[in-house]
Amino acid sequence: MRSETEMNSPNDPPRTMRWNGGPEGTLTMIDQTLLPVEFREIECRTVEEVWEAIKMLRVRGAPAIGCAAAYGVVLGLQAGIDAMNRVAFDARLQEVADYLAGSRPTAVNLFWALDRIRKVAGEQTSLSPQEMHARLLDEAKAIEAEDREMCAAIGRNGASLLTEGMGVLTHCNAGGLATAGDGTALAVMFAAAAMGKNIQVYADETRPLLQGARLTTWELQQRGVPVTLICDNMAGWVMKEKRVQAVITGADRIAANGDSANKIGTYSVALLAKAHGIPFYVAAPSSTFDLSLKTGDEIPIEERNSEEITKGHGRQTAPEGTTVYNPAFDVTPAEYIEAIITERGLIRPVTEQNVRQMVEH
Ligand code: MRU
């Protein structure tokens, strides 16, 4: 069973997750479904609890899901390890990784992290199950630490795109809560603010689960960056009124041609930005690119429960039995993206050649 512990004060900088102890340890994560009303951490002791936390968006955001899954494998290999030989350990590893891969389909970071863990095990067949288990924990920690560094580099690489006095619109939450570090889109804003630039962030509330209202405003307030919350359907008008000079969002999966999947509603924002001549940027680490997909048409889009729309946040807002369509993500074509901000630099213009050059080398 998951045990829950009240943690810290709400003013502490959020640490999305942390591993406690050695290979037999546990994984503590912020329960993001409770924010901003309550700051509570959950302690996962089994792979099933990590699966549930990913599925229910207690931990969410592409890079954070990848980190959580890597630690989830370590948890899944704890039970009965002393009685296992290496063949049984490897079989269990595949079983656990396949299970975690079924939690959410769109963010490629999940599959990227699981593949990286599988690869490490595949390369070191001479280690005992216990040695391999410890090695996999090290790998999970490396994935988390590298993610933190990637966020910082994305912030540095993107900060020059924002200038004094700019209004910057973002959609969903691509902040620290969605990663192990400062985030992707928000890292750029944090870096610009740290350079002394006064920027004004507009956060789309992001129906139906309100990651913008609940999480992005919370993070920006904590870090002292001015933020104004708007409903999703206000973005066009805010642009028309010239309050916004740039849009930056995160991504869940980027195809080889630069088409980028992100939270549902991002595509509409990109179209609005195009219509108003406002640059639309995507900020994402290389772990979010899926070069096996030629275009965004091949990106699997998660569909979620209809009750997220009809009974979201504890209140019924549509008649019983209403037919609902609830895709959780959409794909913004590369032609609408001014640049992709990665930890390695800017991809601009967004073409397959430039994507491959940045990500493959
Ligand atoms: O459904 P969610 O909350 O996991 O969706 C998250 C997003 O769409 C983020 O923008 C994306 O994962 C990038 S996070 C750095």
* CB-ligand 1 contact for 147 (6 Å cutoff): no
As annotated, the active-site residues are: 252
CA proximity to 74, closest of 105, 108, 97: 97
Residue 286 neighbours by CB distance under 10 Å: 16
* CB-ligand 1 contact for 262 (6 Å cutoff): yes
What is the C-alpha to C-alpha distance for residues 100 and 55, in angstroms, rounded to an integer?
10
- Residues 6 or more apart whose CB falls under 8 angstroms from that of 254 comprise 260, 261, 282, 284, 288, 289, 290, 340, 355
Quick one: which atom of ligand 1 is closest to the CA of 183? 15
Q: Which of 262, 329, 342 to mutate to test the pocket of ligand 1 (most atoms within 8 A of CB)?
A: 262
Give yes or no for a contact between 309 and 242, defined as CB atoms under 8 angstroms apart. Answer: no
Quick one: which atom of ligand 1 is closest to the CA of 171? 10
Measured in Å, residue 328 CA sits from the centre of ligand 1 at 10
Torsion over CA: 261, 69, 95, 104 (sign):
negative
Measured in Å, residue 63 CA sits from the centre of ligand 1 at 8
What residue spans of the chain are helical by DSSP H? 47-55, 62-76, 86-101, 108-123, 129-159, 185-194, 211, 217-222, 235-240, 266-275, 307-310, 352-360
Give yes or no for a contact between 176 and 16, defined as CB atoms under 8 angstroms apart. Answer: yes
Question: What are the pLDDT tens digits along the chain (361 aa)?
Answer: 333 344 444 445 668 999 999 999 999 999 999 999 999 999 999 999 999 999 999 999 999 999 999 999 999 999 999 999 999 999 999 999 999 999 999 999 999 999 999 999 999 999 999 999 999 999 999 999 999 999 999 999 999 999 999 999 999 999 999 999 999 999 999 999 999 999 999 999 999 999 999 999 999 999 999 999 999 999 999 999 999 999 999 999 999 999 999 999 999 999 999 999 999 999 999 999 999 999 999 999 999 999 999 999 989 999 999 999 999 999 999 999 999 999 999 999 999 999 999 999 8
Measured in Å, residue 89 CA sits from the centre of ligand 1 at 33
DSSP letters, 271-293, are: HHHHHTT--EEEE--GGGEETT-
For the sheet with 289-290, list strands across it: 289-290, 253-255, 260-263, 329-332
Ordered domains of the chain (ranges, CATH): 4-151 (1.20.120.420), 156-360 (3.40.50.10470)
